[in-house]
Structures are given as structure tokens and as C-alpha cells.
Structure 1
Amino acid sequence: MMGVVLYPVLLGLVQGFSEFLPISSSGHLALVQIFLGIKGPQMGFDLILHMATLLAVVAYFAVDMLRFLRDFLWGFFSEDARSSEGWRYGWAVIAGTVVTALVGLPLKPLVETASQNSLWVGAGLVVTGIVLTVSRFIPPGARKVGLMVGLVVGLAQGIAVMPGISRSGSTIVAALAVGLSPLEAFRFSFLLSVPAVIGATLVEVFDGGGYAAFLSSLPHGWPIGFVAAGAAGFLSLVALRRVSLFRAWWMFGAYCLLLGTAVVGFSLLGV
């Protein structure tokens, strides 16, 4: 009984603390499941945990989301509103979501296979480490969020469905590379994640035979893991904002490089 409850809580905490820090929550979840020998469907429970951390994003950015949504909708009726931040954000999120779907959906079978292979996960972590380390040399910009920003960051988000490649790290670095300021990159990265997580969950529910079948595939104790992931996610989101202010990405890059290299080494040696 203890194991039935412990595993969902453990995975929920891993997901929550690693979701927003640029170290790949999917990679850490996969490694925990692989090395602890946790069997059973992984994608469904992973998505449930992502939904929990999505609620943390909504709670953290609620004011911005409501303001942007209001301005975006008003832009269809007022020409003046089309110069607002909400109008630009709205189209950027739509464009980024479309690109994410076009890139990420075809990768779904590969993602499911790679999530059960520590070599794939380790390689993804190495890629994340390199990306975060390189970001140290990107000068801060002052570009506004717009359609092109949405397309570029959406592409990064689509590629980041692979386990070990950090979604937050990839999208924030992509946003920095196209000229956003660190805090603007932080905000846009997580607002763009909202429709992507909702869409991925709906796809998984549909592929799993519907809502009832999807719920039946989840492990016992999943609601406890859900709560743990949401609470830990909010805390890590607060922490990442502070990291964004100081642009201390290289620390996470070093961590991912070390962990990824170790996992690849253990995998090749058959440890």
C-alpha cells in the first residue's frame, strides 16, 4: 500500500520541482521510472502531472492571462486595441501553438519509445546542457513579443517533447535568441505552454479510448501525486523567475551536462 501511494507522490514531486526549472521534467520522470522499475502506462500519468503544474502556471500568471485575453478579444472590434500587448501576445501564442503541434505530434511514437530508454534521455539532457550553457553568451534584448517570436519559440517547444530536452529551457533560450528580455522570455515561455499541455492531454485522452479509459490507466494514488506536483510546481516557478532575473542558466546547464553524460555512460555500460 505504501508503494502504491509513494510512487505517485515521488513522481509528482519530481515533476513539480523539475517542470519549470530548465532541467527537463520529462527526462527526470523517465529516469525515475526506468531506474526504479516503475512499470505501467507512463504517458497518461505524465500528462496528469503536467496538468497539475499547468494549474500552477495559471495561478501565477492569472492577472496577465486575463488582461491579454481581454485585449486580444477586444482587438477584433477595435482597431486601437490591435496595438495592445494582448493582441500581439494572442497571435504569438496561436502561431507558436500551431508550430508546436506540427512538430510535436509526429514525434509522439518516438517520444513514447525514447521515454523508456535511458540512453535517449541522457542524450536529451546533454543537449539541454549545451543549450543552457550557450545561452550565457546571448546578449539581453528588448524586442516585443510578436508573430515571429511565436513561430520560433513554438518550434523550440515542439522539439522539446523529446525526453531530456527541457521545454522551459529550450523556449526561454529561443526567446532570448530572438531578442526578448529575460523576464519577457520567462513570461512568454510559460504562457505558450498552456495550450500545448491542454492539447497534449486531449490527444492522449482521445488516443486512450476516451475519458473513462484514460482515468482507468492511471496508477492508484494519482490524485495525491497531482496535488504534490501542483504545489511543488508553484514553488519552482517562483524560483525560476529569480533565476531569470540573474540569468544563471549556466548552473542548470552544468547540472544537465553532468547528469546526461553520467546516464549515457551508465546506459552504454549496461549499468
Structure 2
Amino acid sequence: MSWLQALVLGLVQGLTEFLPISSSGHLRIVSELFFDSDAGASFTAVTQLGTELAVLIFFAKDIWRLLTTWFRGFADAEVRRTADYRIAWYVIIGTLPIGLLGLVFKDEIRTGARNLWLVSTTLVVFAVVLAVAERFGPQRRTVEQMTLRDGVVMGFAQAMALIPGVSRSGGTITAGLAIGLNRAAAARYSFLLAIPAVFASGIFSIPDVFERSGPGPQPSVAQMVVATAIAFAVGYATIAWLLNWVAKHSVYVFVWYRLALGLTVMGLLSAGVVNAT
């Protein structure tokens, strides 16, 4: 892997991880368009450690409160009746679908699921789904008003992001809007929900990304560290921007962007400008 590719992909990861436009899809598209090769699912998973570290720092107070409340709840019935205790459990339960499906379909995720026809199609299809959720979702409830059913629904929505082009935040924000959460609540919860799954995926992918016999360009340790650090810095700024944006605006800008990108990639594939695999 060249240093230019490592730097560009780290920047792309930081910019797109938290927006509902699919960071894995963007890394796949940018790799093919500008570097004529796929950096791979493992590279994506490891750079996501940087963006999730940004989540840990940005939401440190919330995460600490949820963790301490969860542990206290084992011994205190009064604590078990609080919203924080329920939310902590919802995050744990909501992580199970992506963990289980990720293990079962690990090989497909790293191979066939990275086909650019599939990526571009999911960009378009889930743009429409996001638009429908924005248009018809009640958008009245906060995170504190979530139920166990809501946690399960958003957990399965997150699992759909195993397919590049769907978007982890896009899937969970769409589901959140559909079940009645307001935009800010859906975005905030999507950040918290991603933490366990992304850290587990990134840590387990570290050996794979340095496997010299694997497909695609192999990064050096230094390149991987720098790309992840860039993803962290840019990702932190993106979190702040997105939370401010969704509090005041609709998500239609992301819908139109997804449609434009998906259709453009389809056009390039049809013209033979880029390869699907």
C-alpha cells in the first residue's frame, strides 16, 4: 500500500463512518476508482478503531454513566428501574445480531459482499428506505423512552451494515426514525450501539490486515497507525457536526448524496470504467 492510499482512506473513513452514507462502501469505491485495488474488509475494520475511539472520548460521560449504572443494577433493584440501566442492556442485546451474523457470514463479507454492483445497489435502495423513514417516522421519542423491542430492531438494522453500502449509522438511524425516535436520539443511540461490535471487529481483524499473503495492497504497521489516527481525528469532528446537523435539519441531504453516488458507480460499472470485483 502506498502512503497516499493509506492517508486518503484514513480520511475517507473518518469523514464517512458516522454519516448515513456507508464508510465501508466509500472505502471500497475510492480504493477501486483511485487506486485500482480493494484495500479490503480488514483494513476497514481496523481503521474503524480510530473512529470508535472518537466515540468513546466524545461520549465518555454517557458511556461511564451507562456502565456504572449497569453494574450497580445487579445489586440494586431501584437502579434497575432507571432508563440508563435499560439502555445499557439494549446496547448489549442490540450488539448480538451483528456479532452472530458477522461470524456466520465472515467469508462472504470479505469477498462477494464487496462487489461494486452490490455496493451501488444498496446505496440506492437504502437511500429510498432512509427517505421513507424521514418522511413518515413520528420522530417524537428520546433515547430514554426506548423499549426492548426498539433495541432489538435497531440491533438488526445495524447488522445490515455488514453489507458495504448499507451504512451502520444509516441503518440504525433509519430504524430509529421508523420506530419513532427523533433524529438526534436516533443518531446518538447509533453511536453507542456501534461501540462493542466495531471494537470487537477491529481487534480481531488486526492480524488479517497484515497477512502478507492476503488479497489487495498490504499496509505497513506505520501506515495502519497513521490511517487509524487520521480516522480518529476527522471522525471526532464529524460526530459533533452530525449531531448539530440532525438537530436542525432533515436527513434528505444524505438521501440525495447516496442516490447520486450509487447511480454514478452503476454508470461507471456499465461503461466498464471500473471493475465490480
Whether the aligned pair in 2 keeps the contact of 1:131 and 1:170 (CA below 8 Å) is no
Find the counterpart in structure 1 of residue 141 from structure 2: 142
SS in 1 for 2:21: coil
Amino acid at match of 2:30: V
CA contact (8 A) 1:125 1:256 kept: yes
Aligned partner of 2:70 in structure 1 is 72
User: Which residue of the partner structure matches residue 192 of structure 2?
Assistant: 191
Structure 1 residues 103-182: aligned runs within 5 Å: 103-114=101-112, 116-137=114-135, 138-142=137-141, 144-182=145-183
Alpha-carbon shift at residue 156 of structure 1 (Å): 0.5
Matches of 1:38 and 1:219 in 2, distance apart?
A: 15
Q: How far apart, CA to CA, are the structure 1 residues paired with 2:193 and 2:238? A: 18
* Superposed displacement of residue 59, structure 1: 0.8
Scaled by the length of structure 1, what TM-score is found?
Answer: 0.90
* Structure 2 letter corresponding to 1:139: P
Query: Are 2:82 and 1:84 equivalent residues in the alignment?
Result: yes
1:157-191 C-alpha deviation (Å, 9 max, x unpaired): 10111111111011011012122222221211110
Alpha-carbon distance between aligned partners in 2 of 1:66 and 1:174, rounded to the nearest angstrom: 25
Q: Which residue of 2 aligns with 1:9?
A: 7
Matched, 1:253 2:251: no
| Residue in structure 1 matching 2:31, options 33, 49, 52 | 33
Q: 1:53 aligns with which of 44, 51, 54?
A: 51
CA distance in structure 2 between the partners assigned to 1:152 and 1:190 by the alignment: 15
> Whole-Å Cα distance in 2 between the matches of residues 40 and 122 of structure 1?
15
Deviation at 1:132, TM superposition (A): 2.2
Q: Match for residue 219 of structure 1?
A: 219
Residues 34, 118 of structure 1: 8 Å contact kept: no
Once residues 40 and 20 of structure 1 are traced to their aligned partners in structure 2, the CA distance between those partners, rounded to angstroms, is 21
Name the % identity: 36
Give secondary structure in 1 for the equivalent of 2:165.
Answer: coil
Q: 1:40 to 1:269 in 2, by over 3 A?
A: closer
The count of residues paired between Structure 1 and Structure 2 equals 265
Deviation at 1:38, TM superposition (A): 4.7
Q: Which runs of 4+ in 1 moved over 3 A?
A: 37-41, 211-214
Offset of 1:205 from its aligned partner? Answer: 4.5
Rounded Cα–Cα distance in structure 2 between residues aligned with 1:269 and 1:212: 34
Unaligned runs of at least 5 residues, structure 2:
none
For residue 234 of structure 1, the aligned residue among 221, 232, 236 is 236
Where structure 1 has 5 or more consecutive residues not aligned to the other structure, the ranges are none
Change (3 A) 1:188 1:10: same
**Alpha-carbon deviations, 1:225-252, whole Å to 9, x = none?**
1111111101111111012202421111
Deviation at 1:130, TM superposition (A): 1.1
Alpha-carbon spacing, 1:226–1:62, altered in 2? closer, same or farther (3 Å) = same
In 2, distance between residues paired with 1:74 and 1:252? 40
CA 1:5–1:115 in 2, change beyond 3 Å: closer, same or farther? Answer: farther
AA in 2 matched with 1:260:
G
Task: Name the CA distance, whole Å, in 2 between partners of 1:212 and 1:17.
Answer: 24
1:97-131 residue CA offsets vs partner (Å, 9 max, x unmatched): 11222333333322222454221211121123112
Q: TM-score, normalised by structure 2?
A: 0.88
Quick one: which amino acid aligns to residue 172 of structure 1? I
- Contact 2:28–2:39 (Cα < 8 Å) also in 1: no
> How far 1:218 moved relative to its partner?
5.0
8 Å CA contact 1:91–1:146 kept in 2: the answer is: no
Deviations 1:61-120 (A, max 9, x none): 100000111111101000000111221111101110112223333333222224542212
Q: Which amino acid aligns with 1:225?
A: A
